[in-house]
Chains A and B, each alone.
Chain A
């Protein structure tokens, strides 16, 4: 496949045509922040934290969903982008109840790590006064909506990798929330295989094994990428040459 040359933060990068800006940056060790992108899953572009600035384009673009083009100049950490990420993270914190000190994911949470990297030291917005209920109806898996950032990684892992399509989104606007099957409790789902891929891809403490205590959630981050890499390899073998 043809190679394309771009520059990322002033560094020249060669990558195959069709590669996303995020993947091209990763190939030279530049990590662009993001909470919905996940290796092995389809692109969703929901979190908007991976926005980058491109020369000649006034609006920032999502690095996870923008393919590279010849001569592209990418800036990943301008003051404008940093401010943008800070506000977005504050809004994510305000939307849920992210109390790191008592969270199962503390110490291995992507939201927590990113907030520390970007320098979020307070939240300017008032949290909603609603009280959401946890779903611990499954025999060994649990879901805490107060820690969900609606990245849909679980929805995609469940459908694209496991093929179960248990998780989905319901509602509109501020009312959007995750559901299992058509809104039945997780424990009563007839499609869930109990594979736990949703747990392994969740960036926060929203999904966990039941019985997990504070700062104990340490999911296998390599599970889904390994499975999808094998799947893709198998598919390539079967393709007629």
Chain B
């Protein structure tokens, strides 16, 4: 039994996580904590740069969801210029975000989570990855990879490249859709819709095969946050922000991006670089958010819970089936997977409609203006949830303050509660079975946190699990990755 506390010496830029499980005197799980041990510093080193560079600069935060940062940075820039992008630019931005959500969800579901769901949480860890999936279930792997590629091609058709397209700029976008690639996407579209339908049909079997996980993965009431359209249809880039409570009732008024700090506070903990945002008004409202006051969730599940309808036929039928099975508000984090598939559906359907839209390549693409406001807040729904960029500039448009609230941060409190719940269900004493470790990891993975993006691609994130006694003594440490 190790007696000393080991501090992980690896300080990579992305994707390093640590989990502490604390046991009580009887060896039962008391609590669990998720720690992110990486530090990026974008909020500090972006200061002094011109606002026009910010979309592409902040896009470098992540190689999986750079589009979300490009679009949100451009929206914050729109606010500073005090302009509204021309209608075609708005349409094109929406299209790129749909492509981004589609490709990222396909990566999360088919490449990262499907090995657990299809091969089993207790299956051989050496094969429980995307390569094992390709060997065991080549059809689902092939279709998943094709869906992801389609989303990436939408991004490339607009921004010229699949990753880090510096395409959206304050005031609009830099260029229109590539006509050749548009035709290619139209030709591919029927195959993608077939893939989407096929995947949804398979998902029903997967849920039925994992009743224990469905019941123990983050099943607790919390608030949900996301963008909503005025008529309640699923929204991902425009509209207002809304909190709902565990019963689906609005929690406070809807608000625009620039008022986010009236509702959302952030707390920094000593043991993790990931800050924990919380709903300010719900802090004293334990009836709404339970043992961690102010907890709310964002991302696919939150958006599905917030919306009245998806707005496209296939996704609406899927949403109805989902709600018939799990209720109007689904609380379990396992349902993030289902929500992701419903969103993949609506993204594909909406992209199909935009590809046929004659207005997609007409008119101006960029509004120009000087620095007209000293502060601009951009918000967009990234695949993982609501993303805020809050910029302050001087009279020349140089950044004096940058604040980014990333989806993974919003979910931090919920992720901690989720792993505590899973640990309580699957960990008994200091001897942690590999399957239990994997379930704890999968509880985090259900939220698809950004730190998993780069290092998780072959199936396992570098993970340190510490089991501690009630007085903090290290009882067991399991290191993977």
Give B52's nearest chain A residue, CB to CB: A213
- By the criterion CB–CB under 8 Å, are A134 and B174 in contact? no
A172 at the binding interface (Cβ < 8 Å): no
- In whole angstroms, what is the CA distance A139 to B49 when docked? 17
Return chain B residues, CB-CB under 8 Å to A21. Answer: none
- Tell yes or no: A131 within 8 A of B by CB: yes
Q: Within 8 Å of chain A (Cβ to Cβ): is B60?
A: yes
CB-defined contacts of B166 to chain A, threshold 8 Å: 213-216
Q: How far is the CB of B48 from chain A (nearest CB, A)?
A: 7
Asked whether any CB of chain B lies closer than 8 Å to the CB of A52, the reply is no
A211 at the interface (CB under 8 A from B): yes
A211 neighbours in B (Cβ, 8 Å)? 52, 170, 368
**C-alpha spacing A210/B48, complex, angstroms:** 15
> Which residue, of A102, A104, A133, A210, has the highest number of chain B Cβ atoms within 10 A?
A102
How far apart are the CA atoms of A210 and B169 in the complex, in Å?
A: 13
Residue from A102, A135, A213 in contact with B60 in the complex, judged by beta carbons closer than 8 Å: A102
Q: Which residues of B contact A214 (CB under 8 A)?
A: 53, 55-57, 166
Q: A104-B53, A214-B166, A216-B174 are in contact. Are A131 and B60 (CB under 8 A)?
A: no
B293: interface (CB < 8 Å): no
Contact B56 A213 (CB under 8 A): yes
Closest to A211 in B: B52
Residue picked from A136, A212, A214, A215, most chain B C-beta under 10 Å? A214
A213-B53 contact in complex given A102-B60, A134-B398, A136-B397, C-beta closer than 8 Å: yes
Residue B164 lies at the interface, judged by CB distance under 8 Å to chain A: yes
- The answer to whether A136 touches B396 (Cβ under 8 A) is yes
Most chain B CB atoms below 10 A, which of A134, A213, A214: A213
CB distance from B396 to the nearest CB of A (A): 4
B57 pairs with A102, CB closer than 8 A: yes
A131 touches B52 (CB 8 A): no
Contact A142 B56 (CB under 8 A): no
For A131, the closest partner residue in chain B by CB is: B48
Q: Does B50 contact A (CB under 8 A)?
A: yes
Contact across chains for A213 and B48 when beta carbons are under 8 A apart: no
Residue of B nearest to A205 (CB): B53
Residues of chain A from 106 to 164 with CB closer than 8 A to chain B in the complex? 131, 133-137, 139, 142
Cα of A102 to Cα of B370 in the assembled complex, Å: 21
Collect the chain B residues with CB atoms within 8 Å of residue A104's CB. 53
Min C-beta distance of B227 to chain A, whole Å = 25
Query: How many Å from the CB of A184 to the closest CB on chain B?
Result: 15
- Interface flag for A233 (CB, 8 Å): no
Please state if B56 and A102 are interface contacts (CB–CB under 8 Å): yes
Among residues of A, the one whose C-beta sits closest to the C-beta of B169 is A213
Please indicate which of the listed interface residues B48, B53, B169 has the most CB atoms of chain A within 10 Å of its own CB: B53
Interface residues of B in 222-244 (CB under 8 A from A): none
Whether, in the assembled complex, A2 has its beta carbon less than 8 Å from a beta carbon of chain B, the answer is no
Q: Does A235 contact B (CB under 8 A)?
A: no
Does any Cβ of B come within 8 Å of A101's Cβ? yes
Measured CA separation A101–B60 after assembly (Å): 8
User: Bound complex: CA of A214 vs CA of B161, how far in Å?
Assistant: 14
- Bound Cα distance A215, B57 (Å): 11
Question: Considering the complex, which residues of chain A in the window 50-92 have a beta carbon less than 8 Å from any beta carbon of chain B?
Answer: none
Cα distance, A216 to B170, chains bound together (Å): 13
- The minimal Cβ–Cβ distance linking B49 to chain A, given in whole angstroms, is 8
Determine the chain A residues whose CB is within 8 A of the CB of B52 once the complex forms.
210-213
Across the interface, which residues of A come within 8 angstroms of B55, CB to CB?
A: 213-214
Q: What are the residues of chain B within 8 A of A213 when measuring CB–CB?
A: 52-53, 55-56, 166, 169-170, 174
A134 with B50: CB separation less than 8 A: yes
Given contact pairs A214-B166, A216-B174, A102 touches B53 in the complex (Cβ within 8 A): yes
Nearest CB in chain B: distance from A143 CB, A: 11
**Distance between Cα atoms of A211 and B80 in the complex (Å):** 12
Cβ contacts under 8 Å, A135 to chain B: 396
Q: How far is the CA of A147 from the CA of B49 in the complex (A)?
A: 12
Alpha-carbon separation in the docked complex, A211 to B368 (Å): 8
Interface positions of A from 153 to 205, Cβ below 8 Å from B: none
Asked if A136 and B50 make an inter-chain contact with CB atoms under 8 angstroms apart, the answer reads yes
Q: How far is the CB of B471 from chain A (nearest CB, A)?
A: 44
Tell me the complex Cα distance, A133–B50, Å. 10
In the assembled complex, the Cα of A104 lies from the Cα of B54 at a distance in Å of 11
Contact check, B396 vs A137: say whether CB atoms are below 8 A apart: yes
* Minimum CB distance partner of B171 in chain A: A211
Q: Report the Cα distance A101→B52, complex, angstroms.
A: 14
Give Cα distance in the complex from A42 to B49, angstroms. 33
Q: Which B residues contact A (CB, under 8 angstroms)?
A: 48-50, 52-53, 55-57, 60, 164, 166, 169-170, 174, 368, 370, 396-398
Listed by A's residue number, 5 A-B pairs whose Cβ atoms lie within 8 Å are: A134-B50, A137-B396, A211-B170, A213-B55, A215-B166
- 6 A-B pairs closest in CB distance: A214-B56, A136-B396, A214-B166, A213-B169, A102-B57, A213-B52
Report A's interface with B, CB cutoff 8 A: 101-102, 104, 131, 133-137, 139, 142, 210-216
- Beyond A137-B396, A213-B53, A214-B57, 8 additional contacts (C-beta under 8 Å) are A133-B398, A139-B370, A210-B50, A210-B52, A214-B166, A215-B56, A215-B166, A216-B169
